Structure 1
Amino acid sequence: MPPTNNPTLRQRRLGAELRKLRERTGLTTTGAAHLLGVNQARISMIETGRTPVSADRIRTMGRAYDCSDEQLVDVLAAMTGRRTRGWWEEYRDHVPVALVDLAELEHHATALRVALLFHIPALLQTADHARALLKAVVPPMRQYEIEHRLTHRMKRQGILHRENPPPYTAVIHEAALRMGFGGPAIARAQLKHLIDMSELPHVTIRVIPFGADDFPTTGQSFDYVEGALRQLDTVQLDSHHGACEFLDAEAQLDKYREVLDRMESCSLGTTESRDFIHDL
């Protein structure tokens, strides 16, 4: 298969997991290449996601690297091949690449957990609310850029309405609920939309009210995307310069899982949260 100069996040993650398996055995890329009967450059390109790799090759690598975790090898094998031609690919030239990668990541997720202090989660925003947010971006975006971002965001929301959607849990601080982007009418419609979405069986919305004690936060919003296995989870962080940062180191995943667990423990229950939003 020919190499690609722009591997997706999923392809890069596959390569990174293969690199971890190799490094645990103490093999260099040269040693791995000798075992697998390929050149060292081929191993390097596989580990950076620039060369598609077959499921059979993954299983061969698993044996060469003495990996006894058959479930992990099976999951990695399922991640092989060329990039999925999902709807997000049509936006690759119109929105930041990280947003395209995020949409693909969400598509393959087994569960989604998010925590936000000052904004409504993107997958729960109305189109009017999202447009108001995008118009407030600094520096201002051109109208066509706003529309590309908006349609991309609305299509991302399809994951919550597809057949067999992933469980979705959102922890939202009261501050985000009171922001009022777009004016009273848009803000009211947005709150009503949250109530409607919370009634879906796979959607859980929990509110942290002002005055809640001891909830852990740095003020940064983040998404926790669960993969087919715990070690394949990913954390996505928002940043003020508009890019997404993706974290997947084991220690980082453990930290953000604990942060989410503690934030949920500080939040209102689901019924109480729905009543709280209704009162607002």
Structure 2
Amino acid sequence: MTDEAERETLLAKARQANAPGWWQRYSDVIPPWLHTYVGLEEAVSLVCEFAAGHIPDLLQTREYASAVGILDQEDGAQGDPALQVDFKMRRQQLLRAPDPPTRWFLVDEAVLRRPQASKEIMRAQLEHLIELGHLPNVSIQILPFGVPRRADGSFSILRFAESSLPDVVYIELLNQALYLDRSADVEIYWNEFNRLTAVAANPNETRHIILEVISELSRTPR
């Protein structure tokens, strides 16, 4: 970001994001950089998210979130898994809030087929995706197998309700998160997101892909 006034405005927004909020009660189970993200999330008008590893947090059922939390604990994550799930469920209230922000989710097809939970939990999770796809502020697209991508991992692009604020790219790593606000960096991720959504299944095709995976789960033995 080159404009000093814009930078100061965004820094002020970040400081506001770190001010006490509902998420502070979960401070023992969420890392500091996620505090900032959740605070910023309260001020957005649009979030575009590409999910490469698992179902996006805001789309997870409680049971799927619990199963993923167990895997995270095995990988060394700290804190009470049940409280971490409660935190995810509380965040999801954004989807149904009055005048909610627009959320655009691009999910790698491998995420649907990765056995991160039991068949019953996965089936319920996939059905939940179809249900959420009917919300007027939610768009879900599946990126089919074989589509090349430049980004190796997940990322989100935040656009704020205040038009004077620049877009921000959020990239969560294993032990930290990156916030990119330089226009050149943000443009790279916008270009990649737009390219991927152009070749991804549209919402109607996405629904058929999800139903196909549900059908496959029903046909496979326990």
* Fold match by TM threshold 0.5: yes
* TM value normalised by structure 1: 0.68
Structure 2: where are the runs of 5+ without partners?
A: 214-222
Q: Is the 8 A contact 1:114 1:223 kept in 2?
A: yes
Secondary structure of the corresponding residue to residue 232 of structure 1: coil
- Show the counterpart of 2:92: 157
Quick one: distance in 2 between partners of 1:256 and 1:226? 13
Per-residue deviation, 1:216: 2.5
Question: CA separation in 1, counterparts of 2:28 and 2:21?
Answer: 14
**Which one-letter code corresponds to 1:279 in the other structure?**
E
AA at the equivalent of 2:67: A
Distance 1:205 1:256, change over 3 A: same
Q: Does 1:238 align with 2:222?
A: no
Matched residue, 2:187? 254
What residue is the counterpart of 2:125 in the other structure?
Answer: 190
Query: Is 2:17–2:35's contact at 8 Å kept on the other side of the alignment?
Result: no
Code of the aligned partner of 2:154:
S
Structural RMSD (CA): 2.8
In the TM superposition, what are the counterparts of 1:7-156 in structure 2 within 5 Å? 20-21=4-5, 84-137=19-72, 138-141=74-77, 144-156=79-91
Count of residue pairs brought into register by the alignment: 211
1:96-145 Cα offsets, whole Å, 9 max, x none, are 11121111111111111100123111110111111111111243446x52
In structure 2, the CA distance between the partners of 1:211 and 1:139, relative to structure 1 (3 Å rule), is closer
Deviations 1:190-249 (A, max 9, x none): 10010000011110001111134xx4333210111111227522111121x243222111
Distance in 1 (alpha carbons) for counterparts of 2:23 and 2:77: 20
Larger radius of gyration: 1
Task: Give 5+ residue unaligned stretches, structure 1.
Answer: 1-15, 24-46, 48-72
Question: Structure 1 93/265 Cα, relative in aligned 2: closer, same or farther at 3 Å?
Answer: same
1:278 paired with 2:211, answer: yes
Are 1:207 and 2:191 counterparts? no
AA matched with 1:155: R
Using the alignment, how far apart are the partners of 2:206 and 2:110 within structure 1?
14
Structure 1 distance, partners of 2:23, 2:76, is: 24
* Alignment partners' CA distance in 2, 1:122 and 1:22: 30
Identity %: 27
AA aligned to 2:102 is: P
Alpha carbons of structure 1 residues 76 and 243: separation in structure 2 relative to 1, 3 Å? closer
The letter of the residue matching 1:194 is L
CA 148–245 in structure 1, closer or farther in 2 if over 3 Å, else same:
farther
Asked whether the equivalents of residues 106 and 197 of structure 2 are also in contact (C-alpha less than 8 Å), the reply is: yes
